[in-house]
Structure 1
Amino acid sequence: MKWQHVQDNWKAFYDAITDRWPNADEDELDEIDGDQRAFVDYIARITDQEPGDARDDVRDWMTGELPSDVVMDPEHDNHSIALSEKYLPDGEDEYDDDSRFGDDR
């Protein structure tokens, strides 16, 4: 994943952050508000690591999957729908009702 995913969906990552770093505090995460440098400094502080080691730890964490709260977010879904436009025939709207296929009622 990219940091932009983390920053754009910061609160959705709280569970993933506290799973990886159990000492992380939600109030302090609120203050960080998706700032990567502040987050790395925070991880260094709560894990008693050097900033470079904390940065490597965060990079390692970012190789994981996006949390389901982010994947299921309507904004993420709408982005995926918009990208599907390239697979549709000319003149068809990617947001059209597809009830004939049984997925909308």
Structure 2
Amino acid sequence: MKWHHVQDNWSAFLDAIMDRWPDADEAELEEIDGDQRSFIAYVAEMTGQSVADAREEIRDWLTGELPSDVVMDPRHDNQSIALSSKYIPEGEDEYDDDARFGDG
């Protein structure tokens, strides 16, 4: 994943951050609010690492999966629907209600 995923969905990442860095303080993380430099500095200070080592640790963490709260964000659903329009016959709106197909 890229940092912009984290930055744009900071609150959804808090649990994943707390899992990875159990000593992190949630209130301090909320203040960081997705700012990458602040987060790197915070991890370095919290773990006693150099900034370079903290940056590398965060880079390794970013290779993981997106939290389900981020994946399930309605913005992603709407984007997927819009991208599916190339499979919709001409004249049909991809945002139409498909209740008649049982997906209510």
Normalization by structure 1: what TM-score?
0.91
Deviation at 1:65, TM superposition (A): 0.7
Count of residue correspondences: 104
Question: Which residue pairs with 1:54 in the alignment?
Answer: 54
> Equivalent residues in 2 for 1:20-99 (5 A)?
20-99=20-99
Distance 2:64 2:100 in 1: 37
TM-score normalised over the length of structure 2: 0.92
Identical amino acids, percent of aligned pairs: 73
What displacement does 1:95 show?
0.9
Counterparts of 1:94-105 in structure 2, within 5 Å, are 94-104=94-104
Q: Deviations over 1:33-88 (max 9, x none)?
A: 10111111111111111111111111111111110111112122222222222222
Unaligned segments of structure 2, at least 5 residues: none
- Equivalence map 1:12-27=2 (5 Å): 12-27=12-27
In the TM superposition, structure 1's runs of 4+ consecutive aligned residues that sit over 6 Å from their partners are none
Please tell me the root mean square deviation across aligned C-alpha atoms, in Å: 1.1
* Residues in 2 aligned to 1:87 and 1:59: alpha-carbon distance in whole angstroms: 37
Alignment gaps of 5+ in structure 1: none
- Report the residue type matching 1:42 in the other structure: Y
